[in-house]
Amino acid sequence: MFYVAEACLLDEGLAYSKHSAVISAFNQRFVKTGRVPRELHRDLVRGQELRHGGDYGRRGTVTHAQAEAQVRKAEDFLRLAEELIGGQQR
């Protein structure tokens, strides 16, 4: 989901070097303007937390059920991003 958010920002000519900056800018640019539902931003933040726990936490920090749920949320996020990026007239 992070890279999808980053792609949305890049499509608008914005680039950031930190994960936290991408998440914050995505919130400012897309959520606060009403282009993206708030719950998808919460999913993005939660996905980042789970990724961090999975990468740096103890083994088993992220459950199979959490991973499956996050994949479903990521699919929704990707569909929305395709509308945001793909739906624009060039």
Mean pLDDT of 61-83: 90
Q: Is 10 exposed, middle or buried (0-12, 13-18, 19+ CB in 10 A)?
A: middle
Q: Where does the pLDDT of residue 88 fall: very low under 50, low under 70, confident under 90, or very high at 90 and above?
A: low
**What tokens does 84 get?**
């945001």
pLDDT, tens digit, 9 for 90 and up, residues 55-71: 787 777 788 898 899 99
Please state the pTM of the whole predicted model.
0.82
Model confidence at 89: pLDDT above 60:
no
Mean pLDDT of the chain: 89
Q: What is the pLDDT of residue 90?
A: 41
Which tokens belong to 1? Answer: 């989901």
| Domain extent listing, the chain | 2-86
The type of residue at 44 is L
Tell whether the model's pLDDT for residue 18 goes beyond 60.
Answer: yes
